[in-house]
């Protein structure tokens, strides 16, 4: 029986898909009578009720025709082809959504790890500031500074200074690992990791833009 994608589908849908694929492949012909429910249930190793649901799904799709007192007959190959294609497209879309969900979960977990590591790093700086030569420099942004109102991407901060911004203190909040669109706002305190020479360049760059 054909199965598309990694996501589980109801068994009756898979039986309907399998029969539709057989119709498309020419193993069933238009007008041919389909085996009874008991025979199909035995073939697919499912209950007759599951087969009934599959048959009614194909009937609703106008692939099968049910004649009172006569049985179930193959009605339309083109509708079977359309059903197979639609089913496969839906399965592909479901799998893409599942993969996207997994990637987003992985991203969230990674961001959490980054935030945790940054907090631990800042905590170690604060606890060992007096003896830690790598304690971050603090640079407060003033309204008159040349970079005020611009963002990190606009000014290529690391490229021009060699200094790494690890966090921003803004209005009582700590922004960890600020992204490229974080702005230089008056009153911000930028926490910067670098050596003294790079900090001098960073300070001058913020003040003058050069």
Band of the pLDDT at 143, cuts 50, 70, 90? very high
Domain ranges within the chain, ordered by starting residue: 11-97, 137-208
Asked whether residue 120 carries a pLDDT value surpassing 80, the answer given is no
Band of the pLDDT at 144, cuts 50, 70, 90? very high
Q: What pLDDT does 134 receive?
A: 55
* pLDDT tens column, 4-30: 434 567 888 888 888 888 888 888 888
Q: What pLDDT does 123 receive?
A: 66
Percent of the chain with pLDDT over 70: 87
Q: What pLDDT does 14 receive?
A: 87
- Is 162:194 a contact under the CB 8 Å cutoff? yes
Residue 115: φ, ψ to 5°: -60, -40
The CATH number of the domain covering residues in 11-97: 1.10.10.10
The predicted model gives 170-189 an average pLDDT of 86
Q: Which fold has domain 137-208?
A: Alpha-Beta Plaits (3.30.70)
98: Cβ–Cβ under 8 A, 6 or more apart, which residues? 6, 7
Q: What is the pTM of this model?
A: 0.41
- Is 184:150 a contact under the CB 8 Å cutoff? yes
Q: What pLDDT does 186 receive?
A: 92
H-state helical runs in the chain: 11-24, 37-44, 48-60, 77-127, 152-155, 157-161, 196-208
Q: What pLDDT does 4 receive?
A: 40
Secondary element (H or E) of residue 191: strand 189-193
The predicted model gives 110-123 an average pLDDT of 74
Q: What pLDDT does 68 receive?
A: 79
The strand pair at 137-140 and 189-193 is best described as antiparallel
Asked whether residue 82 carries a pLDDT value surpassing 50, the answer given is yes
Torsional sign, CA 47, 53, 57, 63: positive
Asked whether residue 2 carries a pLDDT value surpassing 50, the answer given is no
Q: Sheet containing 189-193: which strands, arranged edge to edge?
A: 137-140, 189-193, 164-170, 173-176
The predicted model gives 152-175 an average pLDDT of 86
Residue whose pair of structure tokens reads 């991203």 in the numeric block:
107
């Amino acid at each position: 029986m054909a199965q598309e994608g990694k996501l589980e589908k109801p068994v009756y849908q898979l039986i309907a898909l399998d029969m539709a694929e057989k119709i498309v492949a020419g193993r069933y012909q238009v007008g041919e009578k389909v085996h009874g429910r008991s025979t199909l249930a035995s073939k697919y190793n499912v209950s007759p009720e599951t087969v009934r649901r599959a048959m009614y799904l194909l009937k609703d799709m106008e692939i099968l025709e049910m004649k009172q007192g006569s049985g179930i007959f193959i009605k339309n190959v083109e509708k079977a082809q359309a059903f197979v294609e639609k089913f496969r497209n839906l399965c592909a879309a479901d799998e893409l959504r599942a993969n996207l969900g997994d990637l987003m979960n992985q991203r969230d977990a990674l961001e959490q790890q980054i935030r945790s590591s940054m907090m631990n790093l800042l905590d170690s700086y604060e606890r060992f500031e007096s003896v830690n030569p790598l304690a971050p420099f603090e640079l407060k942004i003033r309204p008159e500074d040349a970079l005020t109102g611009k963002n990190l991407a606009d000014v290529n901060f690391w490229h021009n200074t060699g200094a790494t911004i690890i966090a921003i203190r803004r209005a009582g909040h700590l922004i960890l690992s600020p992204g490229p669109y974080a702005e230089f706002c008056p009153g911000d305190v930028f926490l910067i990791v670098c050596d003294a020479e790079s900090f001098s360049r960073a300070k001058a760059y913020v003040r003058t833009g050069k």
